[in-house]
Amino acid sequence: MQAQELPIDPQAIRELIRLGKYDGVTGGLAPGYVQANLVILPKYLAFDFLLFCQRNPRPCPVLEVLEAGNPNPILTTPGADIRTDIPKYRIFRKGTLDEEVGDLNSFWRDDLVSFLLGCSFTFESALVESGIHLDHWDNNKNVAMWKTNIDCVPSGMFRGPMVVSMRPIHHSNVTKAVQVTSRFPGAHGAPVHIGDPKLLGISDINFPDYGEPANFQDGQVPMFWACGVTPQAVALESKPDFMITHAPGHMFITNKRDYELASL
Amino acid sequence: MQAQELPIDPQAIRELIRLGKYDGVTGGLAPGYVQANLVILPKYLAFDFLLFCQRNPRPCPVLEVLEAGNPNPILTTPGADIRTDIPKYRIFRKGTLDEEVGDLNSFWRDDLVSFLLGCSFTFESALVESGIHLDHWDNNKNVAMWKTNIDCVPSGMFRGPMVVSMRPIHHSNVTKAVQVTSRFPGAHGAPVHIGDPKLLGISDINFPDYGEPANFQDGQVPMFWACGVTPQAVALESKPDFMITHAPGHMFITNKRDYELASL
């Protein structure tokens, strides 16, 4: 199935994904609903990873944690199954990508703890709805991302640099962009930096570490937000024996509406 | 030493507490600095308790977690020692209060994880600074608290009702009180209820479960905030083999200023 043939209801989309009828990216699907990053780790690492998220809430906003062996995200998405309802997964062993699979049925274990983490789609929708144009939305590109010189606060084996995404925003909208995204701490929240990329250790704004470079218009300022690539990158760098994530762009679609995450 | 003889600097106060020269309550000490509730549990319960806090951020705002065996809160209060810098502690075994002690030197173990949780002093200061009178401040009383019919979201062995504190606020200040306290999610944040106490299962506003009843003035409305008694009460009800808390009113004084907790 193609993305444009899909229904707009999150439950109906997840059912088609579960049946193997859709395995594409989820950007733009179920508009208005929160999408989530997935990290699955064995229980013996779960406290350290949860504490890492608590210490680094901007890059690692926790939406829900599924206790060991539970595949059902009953708090955000009753009826869903984390093992089958994402279009594509990645299996990592000792920090190395071993395979990409369509479901987790043959990989599931009773000691696996699943973390659903907030995603920038939520705050980007809020920016666009507030009248702020986003270059990568208008031009159907991936956002530009960099590793920075900001170290995350470590926890146990988990440590590493914060990854940020950058959006060019017209200087007259900078304050509004801070206000709008501040309302969504569950989706990375307020920016971590506005202005000079060199202060983050970024040497060339035209060469991102991940994603695609952005086009700047006259009067636009670079604004940097903590990025959901951080927890996966950090978890991977620590080379856990076993770890599962969603494949990039293939997110978990929750039943929560974006504005249910709003803090004010 | 009496409270009024103490210095106003948090580090100087902690040193006097550490030397055994002050063992009283901490309300009003080191004005402008964040005070914290303390819960210490063995490591095997730490993931479930941290997840309980993540699931119930209003009653259980996590300021810092000290990993197993670490007595030094290096993120909020470098140089402090959680074992000696609180005026009075309570030792619980299987959910029963066994003893009250002045330091933890003979109780410390390498498997103990310490949780520092936000305290209402922070948002009360913000309310008072914004021009809102608080009955229990003006009349030197304890705030009124109740168990409610709101169940916390459980995690592992930890479950129980949310405890709330109530403050009478003039109806013309209700919106301002929501706005001011919303800025402090690390100190219980926005109110959980405004108005009719019966909707929380509270049958008589004049008979609190804990603390002292408040005097209502003409035009005042009861506003209810999640209360730091919740995590201790819930942790206790689950009857862990071993648990340490601060003694009521004898809080940990951090080096963080109240306004460093402000989210916006």
Q: Is residue A83 domain-shared with residue A142, that is, in the same domain?
A: no
Residue B264 inside a domain? The answer is no
Q: Is residue A160 domain-shared with residue A87, that is, in the same domain?
A: no
Q: Is residue B139 domain-shared with residue B59, that is, in the same domain?
A: no
Residue B38 inside a domain? The answer is yes
Question: Which of A51, A76, A158, A180 is the best substitution to test chain B (most B C-beta atoms within 10 A)?
Answer: A51
Contact A182 B54 (CB under 8 A): no
Q: What is the pLDDT of residue B235?
A: 82
Structural domain total, chain A? 2
Instruction: List the single residue in A62, A185, A264 with the smallest CB-CB distance to B54.
Output: A62
Q: Is residue B105 domain-shared with residue B133, that is, in the same domain?
A: no
Q: Fill in the DSSP letter of residue A260.
A: G
Domain residues for the domain of B57 are 3-118+238-258
Q: Is residue A221 domain-shared with residue A239, that is, in the same domain?
A: no
3-state secondary structure of A89: strand
Q: Is residue B15 domain-shared with residue B81, that is, in the same domain?
A: yes
Q: Is residue B223 domain-shared with residue B137, that is, in the same domain?
A: yes
Q: What is the mean pLDDT of each run of 10 residues along chain A (264 residues)?
A: 90 97 93 95 97 96 97 97 97 94 98 96 92 92 93 95 96 96 93 97 95 95 95 87 93 94 74
Q: What is the pLDDT of residue A264?
A: 55
Q: Is residue A42 domain-shared with residue A109, that is, in the same domain?
A: yes
Q: What is the pLDDT of residue B199?
A: 97
Contact A156 B67 (CB under 8 A): yes
Assign residue B14 the CATH number of its domain: 3.40.1640.10
- Which amino acid appears at position B222 of this protein? P
CA nearest A62 in B: which residue?
Answer: B54
Q: Render pLDDT for B23-36 as a digit per residue (tens, 0 to 9).
A: 999 988 999 999 99
CA nearest B65 in A: which residue?
Answer: A51
Q: What is the pLDDT of residue A111?
A: 98
Q: Is residue A51 domain-shared with residue A180, that is, in the same domain?
A: no
Q: Is residue B168 domain-shared with residue B219, that is, in the same domain?
A: yes
Assign residue B136 the CATH number of its domain: 3.30.2040.10
Q: Is residue B127 domain-shared with residue B58, that is, in the same domain?
A: no
Q: Is residue A139 domain-shared with residue A193, that is, in the same domain?
A: yes
Q: What is the pLDDT of residue B264?
A: 55
Contact B153 A67 (CB under 8 A): no
